[in-house]
Structure 1
């Protein structure tokens, strides 16, 4: 398929839709097409075509490299740019400045499909998309015209900077500051656990410009080579090894006030709005890893023999596989329901996104872990992908708001008098 260049196309989403209709696909990459876990269930024809494009990309470009990227901690720039050429770099950004213009549901379908090939890389792509949307939704036309075209093609990469060494779940207590000096902001502080840090070109930074608490937080864009911006050592992580994480430090880092996204004091709201979609994205990545793990566990059960018969003949493992499939489909329905709620502006979308993230990330991690158990000792070897899916999905229960915070959001919604 020819690459799409969003900077030169009048309508990326129309071009994407036109392209998928002319692609001749190989055998569909879902387990037993038409089976109870077929990820195309409930999708319209166009969504199925886009999904198949993402599945084929995952199979051909990502899965063969997944183990190498993990073991050698490679940030796969060229592969991600190939994904962006299909319209996956700014999936739900407006077409006016080069986005693909698809829905949150479409994005969930895409990220789930890509994660079957490499969950870690897909997770970074999803974070990049969240950053692009924040700029597109709240930024000035000048910022949008400068950044969205290059973020859409992934000529430039973006990182989301909210968490600090002393402010994780209590994000509103962040202390990284930005004071005005002439026409600039002068930024001081540090951010922690920032995906893509050091490799990304744009940092979507939440910093304090005013009073304590959430109303004093603003959102500012910081470019990679800005004086005063520096990075710590690359963290050694259990999973998510195909993109780096480092401390991001700001030492009298000066950026123009025109880099403000939205208005002063709006930053915490922007961050939370971004995280609603981010929670769907990371849950969708969990779905893809869990789906692939079930496929592989099922195939292993058919070929592995114990006590002179294949594992598929043992009722306990049959029941375990059935439970895994049920957990997957329930998670997928919750995630897609939340995505649709976000698309239509449902007043309950915050709680629904939190519920979906809570349920899907925990259940899908269990699925990956159960798949590893079905593989037995083989599952614990790095030659088999199930252990990598398990490692990569574990962190999904922590980031984009820990699942403890998801429980708080849901319970508060239920206990609110209306």
Structure 2
């Protein structure tokens, strides 16, 4: 993939301004209603596509913007500040495009990538299985070559956009050689033999559909193999490295939303004759929340800058994901505390923010896995 181009500061500011306007006017007003109804925001993803926000880090040749990850992640944070489900969905879609953009042939890219980056096709990333979450190399969904097709059987679990996506970047086992026996297929949503279980009943991110993806003799053309057979595990891990930065940015956006709500409430809530923001117990809490948000933001931006310069960033991506998602959990918890009893009700969004903050500590590799990655990087393993 060509090197990302760095926007001049004014151009980047204009892009972020556009994103904030879309987030404020088109996303934030709908978030509570859609989350309450567990309603999938498909039209909002189309809007992001028409606005040029679904393919920011990918090559212009295929319909992307070839922007730096530093700029893309700031856009992602703005979206997540307004609506976490859409922010996570944008991150997942971007990760789902990685295998084709980075490992597809020019013929494959020309055939599918423009619609993927333009928002006509929404993506899902199908790696996890019920017995192969953190241990992704143990996946068992199998693809057997049969003439010009692969016949796929197995079940993927915890798939964001399951049943809603138009394509599934799917890791399958093509041989029994452990992680070296995994390959990557680009599976179209309408493929015969592809099905979906009922959506999971989740604590949060209820507007983001999560399901099992079922393969029962699904025939996938061999022309949809991305990269070579056996290259899928490496593709999956490389996609996750960048995807962790996306989740870090989303977590910072969520924490920023919680901080904003807590500050606004503390400034107008009066007790003992003055705003509670003036009491040291509350102002110190708000100060710690602000420090956590800004520290996490600086961490993901530094990791993004390393990626943009072509430097190793695996350790930094894991650190960013760990720091940002733990910070979001603390900040949303403290936001509920600042609002007191009001924060425990659905009259205010902080209770939803708290529920949404938990799962970023789990997906794209649990934070325990991030600590393992960081430690192994430190010792050169």
TM-score, length basis structure 2: 0.96
- Preserved CA contact (<8 Å) 1:89 1:152: yes
Single out whichever of 159-168 and 76-85 deviates more from structure 2. 76-85
Match of 2:134 in 1: 169
Q: In structure 2, the residue corresponding to 1:401 is in which secondary structure?
A: coil
Instruction: Measure, in 1, the Cα distance between the counterparts of 2:326 and 2:119.
Output: 30
Please say if 1:242 is aligned against 2:207. yes
Give the CA deviation at 1:413: 1.0
Match of 1:151 in 2: 116
Match of 2:303 in 1: 338
Match of 2:188 in 1: 223
Where does 1:159-238 land on structure 2 (aligned, <5 Å)? 159-238=124-203
Match of 2:279 in 1: 314
Give the CA deviation at 1:71: 0.6
Match of 2:23 in 1: 58
1:236-278 deviations in Å (ceiling 9; x for gaps):
1111111211110111111111100111111011111111111
Instruction: Measure, in 2, the Cα distance between the counterparts of 1:262 and 1:365.
Output: 38
Match of 1:67 in 2: 32
1:37-72 deviations in Å (ceiling 9; x for gaps):
xxxxxx933222211211111111111001011011
Give the CA deviation at 1:130: 1.1
Q: In structure 2, the residue corresponding to 1:92 is in which secondary structure?
A: coil
Match of 1:142 in 2: 107
- Preserved CA contact (<8 Å) 1:92 1:107: yes
Where does 1:211-360 land on structure 2 (aligned, <5 Å)? 211-347=176-312, 349-360=313-324
Give the CA deviation at 1:153: 2.2
RMSD: 1.5
Q: In structure 2, the residue corresponding to 1:175 is in which secondary structure?
A: coil
Q: In structure 2, the residue corresponding to 1:192 is in which secondary structure?
A: strand
Where does 1:112-151 land on structure 2 (aligned, <5 Å)? 112-151=77-116
- Preserved CA contact (<8 Å) 1:90 1:133: no
Q: In structure 2, the residue corresponding to 1:198 is in which secondary structure?
A: coil
TM-score, length basis structure 1: 0.88
Please say if 1:380 is aligned against 2:344. yes
Match of 2:334 in 1: 370
Give the CA deviation at 1:388: 1.6
Aligned length: 377
Q: In structure 1, the residue corresponding to 2:82 is in which secondary structure?
A: coil
Match of 1:40 in 2: none
Instruction: Measure, in 1, the Cα distance between the counterparts of 2:9 and 2:118.
Output: 26
1:79-109 deviations in Å (ceiling 9; x for gaps):
2211112211111111111112111111110
Instruction: Measure, in 1, the Cα distance between the counterparts of 2:85 and 2:208.
Output: 7
1:120-142 deviations in Å (ceiling 9; x for gaps):
11101110011112211111222
Q: In structure 1, the residue corresponding to 2:169 is in which secondary structure?
A: strand
Q: In structure 1, the residue corresponding to 2:66 is in which secondary structure?
A: coil
Where does 1:67-86 land on structure 2 (aligned, <5 Å)? 67-86=32-51
Please, which runs of 5 or more residues in structure 2 have no aligned partner? none
Instruction: Measure, in 1, the Cα distance between the counterparts of 2:214 and 2:197.
Output: 8
Match of 1:27 in 2: none
Please, which runs of 5 or more residues in structure 1 have no aligned partner? 1-12, 18-42
Q: In structure 2, the residue corresponding to 1:53 is in which secondary structure?
A: helix
Match of 2:377 in 1: 413
Q: In structure 1, the residue corresponding to 2:76 is in which secondary structure?
A: helix
Give the CA deviation at 1:308: 2.4
1:2-59 deviations in Å (ceiling 9; x for gaps):
xxxxxxxxxxx99xx8xxxxxxxxxxxxxxxxxxxxxxxxx93322221121111111
